[in-house]
A and B are shown apart, each in its own frame.
Chain A
Amino acid sequence: MANTALPRKMAAANGARRAAAFSEWSDRHFKWLLVAPAVILILALSIYPLIFSLVVSFINYDFQIPGHAFVGLKNFRQVVFDPVARWSIVLTAMLAAANVTIEFLLGLILALLMVKHFRGRGLFISIFIIPLFISPVIVGQAWALLLQRPFGPTNYILSQLLGYDVKISWLTESPWLYFAIIAADVWQWTPFMFVILLAGLTAIPQNLYEAAELDGVGGWRAFWAITVPHLAPMMLLAITLRLLDTTKLFDTIFIMTGGGPGTKTYTASFYLYTVGFAQFHISMATAGSWIFLVLTLIVVTFLVRRLLKAEQTA
């Protein structure tokens, strides 16, 4: 330590004045300097493209139609009057609701079962969190492998268990294909809920429960009186984060059903991808994504404001 400190002191003495001035300046703007790198990066790679895409959505930017003329609301009109677009929004909302609900309940049950220490708990946690580390593209393929006729073993196993010949086309038959898509999403993201909720549960002071027990309050009543209020911020956090992501559901759809059969599994993101990158109607896709953006903003603004409030009062 001593032999490195000496040269440093000398160097400091040499440029003392400049350093002092700089240090004063940097201390004065300290809080803004800290946020600068992140804000600049986000502005450059997120806000600027967004503005650009807003411009694009009012002009013709379609590879098959030459020129970039201003077309007013034509691109938006094309999206709004496309029945596939409307369906994709509905489906996205329904899948988001189903996915997040199931993941939340399952994650909560698992977290409740795991909150107390027991032998092998670490191993269980290790296994449970594995899906979080896997690309959704791969998750989609893993489930497709499991379900796809005639390769997948699912129907065989079900036939053995149920005692009759199960012939379900999991990836092309309604309503089963929705189960397949939800299963893949639940598989991947329940651990996320679980991890956050478990952390929340662990943080609830045990003596609250002991006190309740002494008062003769246990079981469900303790759950509603102690667990739920204490866990509420964590629940809101987990649900918000998952909702943000599940509205973007794309990769598993892309692999498992390709949007089919028909347009039954077109989510908003898959629809926009198809319009933008399979059909190359770029301006129509960006107009569509602005509509989508505004819709999600409404939902998320509400949720995030609640979340920030909960955070600040907690």
Chain B
Amino acid sequence: MNSRQRRDFEAGLAADVDAWLRGKPTRREFIKKFGQLTGMLAIGGGILPAFTQHLLAQAATDLADPSTPLGQAQALAVKASTEGPTDGSAYRATQAAKQYSGITINMTYEVGLQALDPRNFSGPLWEQLTGIKSNVVELTNPDQYSKPVAEHIAGSGAYDVLDVSPGWTPSLADGGVIAPLDDYIAKYMNTADLEDYHPLYRALPTYKGKVWGFFDDGDMFALYYRKDIFEDAKLKEAYQAKFSKALEVPKTWEDYAQVAQFITDQMAPNVYGAGHFRKAGNPGNQFDFLQQFRANNGEFFNNEMKAQLASDAGVKTLQNMIAANAASIPGNNELDAVSLWVAWLQGKVAMIYSWPPTGRMTAGYSQSDKAINFVPQSTIADKVGYAVVPGNPEHAAGYNKALAADSSNPDAAFLFMQWATSPPVSLARVMLPYALRDPYRLSHFKSELYGQLFPTAKEYLRNLNNSANVGVLDMIMPGAQDYGLSLDRMCTAVWAGADPKSSLETAAAEWDATTERLGVDSQRAFYQEFLKLPGATAANTVEKLGMAVKLD
């Protein structure tokens, strides 16, 4: 139907309606035309999805130019899968999976950017290697928890491989949503690969003595700062004069707020000292509180499992955060992580701490892919310095690949997980420009190829490794989401002017209610389990336990 016909057609429709209203029944005509319109849309609706699918389905794996570092890493991943070493996890997974050729595995992934990797790279490559098709189910982060739970309650077996936050593991394991991997690991895997994880991440998927997933995303907060500002002679002089000490990248949270305020006083409105993602319902508040609370030697629970939030550590943490907010870019309390990146990349803030993609965006590497157009080009690529967040950085969320207990093809699903997280394949994945998966294996941190991605890539990797050495983990115990929600509410209430102490008390009361609902004794047992993990408190970080990884 061309545009003129369409115009006539639509005009006719309106005229028919008019005719009706004038009391001239032309029902037959109207129904005919309305049917035509509906039918046309329905047919168009049938053709278009097929067309879309054609557009979206990549005929071949989306491989980078082989001369680039990424291209070389991809070639190595393919080689490790097809030629070996034959005792490698990638090779063994590929060989064992070939018998399942033709089936489809359904995997959940965070919607959008995260899903580009399995859709464009690892999914098609896996199909090419094994004949197993993959169907990527894109879910928002909260849905990555709730949908598998709902599907499990319904017993549908809709998913095979799940991407889950490590903090959800106890809930999902106890709820029977995910299956332990130990038998599969014994059967298929080269266990030497487990030693290649950074010590902070190695124990993460372990719960009640079993392995419930493969860690797959090193979401370590790190501090990114503007070298040019911290090295500015006039600023240094002024800072020295005002505070009788040198202007340096802050090592404590008090210094952090003071430096941020100083820069804001000196440079606003061109540049502000800091920025944070503090929007309600986004995870920034709870992660930041968790890291600073523990850096201040706060403890979550006492022996009676009473929440210890309303302690000196809690008050101090909130006061520092309030001071930092006051020193920040206007609108700080409304920012989410992406808008903070925008402000940072445009040179509006001097310091941010955020997830590792920050470094790749700052270097301008991420923006080389058109999918990363929601952040601007970097104006500060050559001005960025990397540092460890004052005290202890949070490992904020992260992802485990977990095996759905209801999967009808558990072996094939497991083999995909093993292959995708194996050292050579995972390296190629974390190097994708649009990747939101961040380096987590020792072989990633040491990778020469990754080190060539952008001029300061080696420094960036070293800083991520150093951060992990002193990093702290999100709570890994049942109710983690309830506890986190209480923290988010508490923080945003305080930002809006509520009294810190009483807000801490409210949050502590909510924590106690959650603990009671889930059973004080069982929660105590879980908490004790959690405390055994490296990185559970500032006192038992990887470094304090003597397991720190040093890169030269």
Contacts and interface: CB of A to CB of B under 8 A. Distances in A.
Partners in one complex: yes
Interface of A: 62-66, 78, 148-151, 167, 169, 171-174, 257-264, 274, 277-280
B518 A169 contact: no
Q: Which of A63, A257, A261, A280 has the most CB of B within 10 A?
A: A261
B35 interface: no
Contacts of A151: 331, 339, 342
B446 interface: no
A258 B142 contact: no
Contacts of B334: 148-149, 169, 171-172
20 contacts: A63-B153, A64-B171, A64-B518, A66-B175, A150-B330, A172-B279, A172-B280, A257-B280, A258-B281, A259-B281, A259-B489, A260-B493, A261-B280, A261-B333, A261-B493, A261-B496, A262-B489, A264-B493, A277-B142, A279-B482
Contacts of B490: 262
A150 B489 contact: no
B164 to A, nearest CB: 14
Contacts of B146: 277-278, 280
Contacts of B492: 172, 260-262
B243 to A, nearest CB: 27
A107 B342 CA distance: 39
Contacts of A169: 331, 333-334
A264 B496 contact: yes
Contacts of A263: 489, 493
Given A150-B330, A264-B493, A65 B518 contact: yes
Nearest to B482: A279
B142 A278 contact: yes
A151 B331 CA distance: 9
Nearest to B175: A63
Nearest to A81: B513
A261 B490 CA distance: 8
B405 interface: no
Q: Which of B149, B280, B333, B343 has the most CB of A within 10 A?
A: B280
B321 to A, nearest CB: 13
A258 B495 CA distance: 15
A5 to B, nearest CB: 14
A172 B142 contact: no
Contacts of B174: 64, 66
B370 interface: no
A274 B492 CA distance: 16
Interface of B: 142, 145-146, 149, 153, 171, 174-175, 279-282, 329-331, 333-334, 339, 342-343, 478-479, 481-482, 485, 488-490, 492-498, 503, 517-519
Contact of A262 (B279, B496, B519): B496
B95 to A, nearest CB: 38
Nearest to A277: B146
B141 to A, nearest CB: 11
B271 to A, nearest CB: 13
Contacts of B479: 64
Contacts of A279: 481-482, 485
Contacts of B495: 172, 261
A129 B490 CA distance: 40
B47 to A, nearest CB: 25
B99 to A, nearest CB: 35
Contacts of A264: 493, 496
B481 A172 contact: no
A150 B171 contact: no
Contacts of B343: 150
Contact of B331 (A78, A148, A280): A148
Per DSSP, are chain B's interface residues mostly helix, strand or loop, or mixed?
helix
Contacts of A259: 280-281, 489
B54 to A, nearest CB: 28
Nearest to A61: B153
A257 B281 CA distance: 8
Contact of B488 (A148, A167, A260): A260
Given A172-B495, A257-B281, A260-B493, 12 more contacts: A150-B330, A171-B334, A172-B492, A257-B280, A260-B279, A260-B281, A261-B333, A261-B492, A261-B495, A262-B498, A264-B496, A279-B485
A214 to B, nearest CB: 32
Given A64-B478, A279-B485, A280-B146, A174 B280 contact: no
Contacts of A172: 279-280, 333-334, 492, 495-496
Contacts of A63: 149, 153, 171, 175
A59 to B, nearest CB: 14
A63 to B, nearest CB: 5
Contact of A274 (B331, B339, B485, B498): B485
A171 B335 CA distance: 10
Contacts of A167: 330
A150 B279 CA distance: 13
Nearest to A150: B331
A76 to B, nearest CB: 14
A28 to B, nearest CB: 27
A181 to B, nearest CB: 13
Contacts of A174: 496-497
A230 to B, nearest CB: 22
Given A65-B517, A65-B518, A150 B329 contact: yes
Given A64-B479, A173-B496, A278-B142, A258 B175 contact: no
Contacts of A274: 485
B5 to A, nearest CB: 24
Q: Which of B478, B495, B496, B497 has the most CB of A within 10 A?
A: B496
Nearest 3 CB-CB pairs, A to B?
A: A260-B280, A258-B281, A149-B331
Contacts of A66: 174-175
Contacts of B498: 262
A186 to B, nearest CB: 21
A260 B491 CA distance: 10
Q: Which of A169, A172, A262 has the most CB of B within 10 A?
A: A262
B330 A262 contact: no
Nearest to B519: A65
Contacts of A150: 329-331, 343
Contacts of A173: 496
Q: Which of A150, A171, A277 has the most CB of B within 10 A?
A: A150
B330 A149 contact: yes
B348 to A, nearest CB: 8
B331 A262 contact: no
Contacts of A278: 142, 146, 481, 485
A78 B496 CA distance: 27
Contacts of A280: 145-146, 149
Given A64-B478, A150-B343, A274-B485, A262 B282 contact: no
A258 B482 contact: no
